[in-house]
Structure 1
Amino acid sequence: MVKRKNASNPDSETNWNYETKVAEIEAIIARIESGELELEAVFDQFANAVEYLRQCETFLQQRQQQVDLLIETLIDE
Protein backbone atom coordinates (compact mmCIF):
# COMPACT_ATOMS: atom_id res chain seq x y z
CA MET A 1 0.00 0.00 0.00
CA VAL A 2 1.22 3.50 -0.84
CA LYS A 3 1.80 5.91 2.03
CA ARG A 4 -0.68 8.75 1.99
CA LYS A 5 0.43 12.33 2.48
CA ASN A 6 -1.50 15.24 3.88
CA ALA A 7 -3.87 16.39 1.16
CA SER A 8 -4.23 19.83 2.69
CA ASN A 9 -0.93 20.99 1.22
CA PRO A 10 0.47 19.01 -1.71
CA ASP A 11 3.30 21.56 -2.01
CA SER A 12 4.67 20.33 1.31
CA GLU A 13 6.00 17.30 -0.58
CA THR A 14 9.14 18.30 -2.43
CA ASN A 15 8.56 15.79 -5.25
CA TRP A 16 4.81 16.26 -5.57
CA ASN A 17 3.71 16.84 -9.15
CA TYR A 18 0.17 17.33 -10.46
CA GLU A 19 0.73 15.52 -13.75
CA THR A 20 2.39 12.60 -11.95
CA LYS A 21 -0.57 12.25 -9.59
CA VAL A 22 -3.03 12.33 -12.48
CA ALA A 23 -1.02 9.59 -14.21
CA GLU A 24 -1.05 7.55 -10.99
CA ILE A 25 -4.83 7.96 -10.73
CA GLU A 26 -5.23 6.80 -14.33
CA ALA A 27 -2.98 3.80 -13.66
CA ILE A 28 -5.02 2.88 -10.59
CA ILE A 29 -8.24 3.08 -12.59
CA ALA A 30 -6.72 0.84 -15.27
CA ARG A 31 -5.65 -1.72 -12.64
CA ILE A 32 -9.09 -1.71 -11.05
CA GLU A 33 -10.85 -2.00 -14.41
CA SER A 34 -8.58 -4.86 -15.48
CA GLY A 35 -10.26 -7.11 -12.92
CA GLU A 36 -6.91 -8.66 -12.02
CA LEU A 37 -6.76 -7.25 -8.47
CA GLU A 38 -8.06 -9.05 -5.42
CA LEU A 39 -10.96 -7.29 -3.70
CA GLU A 40 -8.83 -5.97 -0.82
CA ALA A 41 -6.32 -4.53 -3.29
CA VAL A 42 -9.17 -2.84 -5.18
CA PHE A 43 -10.25 -1.07 -1.99
CA ASP A 44 -6.65 -0.07 -1.18
CA GLN A 45 -6.08 1.26 -4.69
CA PHE A 46 -9.41 3.09 -4.65
CA ALA A 47 -8.48 4.75 -1.33
CA ASN A 48 -5.15 5.82 -2.84
CA ALA A 49 -6.91 7.28 -5.89
CA VAL A 50 -9.32 9.25 -3.69
CA GLU A 51 -6.40 10.66 -1.70
CA TYR A 52 -4.57 11.65 -4.89
CA LEU A 53 -7.74 13.31 -6.20
CA ARG A 54 -7.98 15.32 -2.98
CA GLN A 55 -4.37 16.39 -3.36
CA CYS A 56 -5.02 17.46 -6.95
CA GLU A 57 -8.13 19.39 -5.95
CA THR A 58 -6.20 21.21 -3.21
CA PHE A 59 -3.41 22.02 -5.66
CA LEU A 60 -5.86 23.43 -8.21
CA GLN A 61 -7.69 25.47 -5.56
CA GLN A 62 -4.39 26.96 -4.38
CA ARG A 63 -3.42 27.87 -7.93
CA GLN A 64 -6.85 29.38 -8.58
CA GLN A 65 -6.41 31.59 -5.51
CA GLN A 66 -3.01 32.70 -6.83
CA VAL A 67 -4.49 33.53 -10.24
CA ASP A 68 -7.37 35.43 -8.64
CA LEU A 69 -4.90 37.44 -6.57
CA LEU A 70 -2.81 38.25 -9.64
CA ILE A 71 -5.88 39.34 -11.57
CA GLU A 72 -7.01 41.50 -8.66
CA THR A 73 -3.55 43.08 -8.50
CA LEU A 74 -3.67 43.86 -12.23
CA ILE A 75 -7.12 45.41 -11.93
CA ASP A 76 -6.01 47.59 -9.00
CA GLU A 77 -3.08 48.95 -11.02
Structure 2
Amino acid sequence: MVKRKNAANSDAMDGWNYEAKVNEIEGIITRIEAGELELEEVFDQFAKAVESLRQCESFLQQRQQQVDLLIETLNNE
Protein backbone atom coordinates (compact mmCIF):
# COMPACT_ATOMS: atom_id res chain seq x y z
CA MET A 1 0.00 0.00 0.00
CA VAL A 2 1.35 3.40 -0.97
CA LYS A 3 0.62 6.29 1.35
CA ARG A 4 -0.06 9.44 -0.61
CA LYS A 5 -0.04 12.92 0.82
CA ASN A 6 -0.47 16.30 -0.71
CA ALA A 7 2.98 17.89 -0.34
CA ALA A 8 1.62 21.27 0.80
CA ASN A 9 -0.71 19.68 3.35
CA SER A 10 1.97 17.24 4.47
CA ASP A 11 4.27 20.01 5.71
CA ALA A 12 1.41 21.77 7.47
CA MET A 13 0.21 18.54 9.13
CA ASP A 14 3.58 17.26 10.44
CA GLY A 15 3.26 16.98 14.20
CA TRP A 16 -0.45 17.76 13.94
CA ASN A 17 -2.81 15.62 16.00
CA TYR A 18 -6.57 15.43 15.47
CA GLU A 19 -7.40 14.44 19.03
CA ALA A 20 -5.22 17.22 20.44
CA LYS A 21 -6.99 19.78 18.22
CA VAL A 22 -10.41 18.53 19.32
CA ASN A 23 -9.33 18.82 22.96
CA GLU A 24 -8.04 22.33 22.29
CA ILE A 25 -11.36 23.34 20.71
CA GLU A 26 -13.31 21.85 23.61
CA GLY A 27 -11.12 23.76 26.05
CA ILE A 28 -11.77 27.03 24.23
CA ILE A 29 -15.50 26.40 24.23
CA THR A 30 -15.45 25.57 27.94
CA ARG A 31 -13.57 28.76 28.78
CA ILE A 32 -15.92 30.88 26.65
CA GLU A 33 -19.03 29.30 28.17
CA ALA A 34 -17.65 29.69 31.69
CA GLY A 35 -17.14 33.42 31.13
CA GLU A 36 -13.43 33.15 31.97
CA LEU A 37 -12.31 35.40 29.12
CA GLU A 38 -12.41 39.10 28.42
CA LEU A 39 -14.49 40.00 25.37
CA GLU A 40 -11.47 40.64 23.13
CA GLU A 41 -10.00 37.28 24.11
CA VAL A 42 -13.34 35.60 23.38
CA PHE A 43 -13.10 36.80 19.78
CA ASP A 44 -9.44 35.75 19.49
CA GLN A 45 -10.13 32.31 20.94
CA PHE A 46 -13.24 31.90 18.79
CA ALA A 47 -11.19 32.66 15.67
CA LYS A 48 -8.58 30.13 16.82
CA ALA A 49 -11.29 27.50 17.35
CA VAL A 50 -12.75 28.13 13.89
CA GLU A 51 -9.32 27.69 12.29
CA SER A 52 -8.78 24.48 14.25
CA LEU A 53 -12.19 23.21 13.12
CA ARG A 54 -11.19 23.89 9.51
CA GLN A 55 -8.00 21.90 10.03
CA CYS A 56 -10.01 19.02 11.52
CA GLU A 57 -12.44 19.09 8.62
CA SER A 58 -9.59 19.01 6.11
CA PHE A 59 -7.97 16.11 7.97
CA LEU A 60 -11.23 14.14 7.97
CA GLN A 61 -11.81 14.83 4.27
CA GLN A 62 -8.31 13.57 3.45
CA ARG A 63 -8.86 10.42 5.46
CA GLN A 64 -12.25 9.86 3.83
CA GLN A 65 -10.60 10.07 0.41
CA GLN A 66 -8.04 7.49 1.53
CA VAL A 67 -10.78 5.16 2.76
CA ASP A 68 -12.73 5.60 -0.48
CA LEU A 69 -9.60 4.79 -2.49
CA LEU A 70 -8.95 1.67 -0.41
CA ILE A 71 -12.55 0.50 -0.82
CA GLU A 72 -12.36 1.11 -4.56
CA THR A 73 -9.10 -0.84 -4.73
CA LEU A 74 -10.61 -3.75 -2.79
CA ASN A 75 -13.69 -3.77 -5.02
CA ASN A 76 -11.53 -3.90 -8.15
CA GLU A 77 -9.57 -6.91 -6.90
TM-score by length of 2: 0.84
In structure 1, the partner of 2:39 is 39
Across the two proteins, how many residue pairs are aligned to each other?
70
Unaligned runs of 5+ in 1: 1-7
> Of the two structures, which has the highest relative contact order with CA contacts closer than 8 Å and spacing of 6 or more?
1
- After TM superposition, the structure 1 = structure 2 runs for residues 38-77 of structure 1, keeping only pairs within 5 Å, are 38-77=38-77
TM-score by length of 1: 0.84
Which amino acid in 1 is paired with 2:75? I
- Aligned residues with identical type, % of pairs: 76
| Root mean square deviation of aligned Cα | 1.6
Q: Which has the larger radius of gyration?
A: 2
Which amino acid in 2 is paired with 1:74? L
**Structure 2: distance between partners of 1:10 and 1:29:** 28
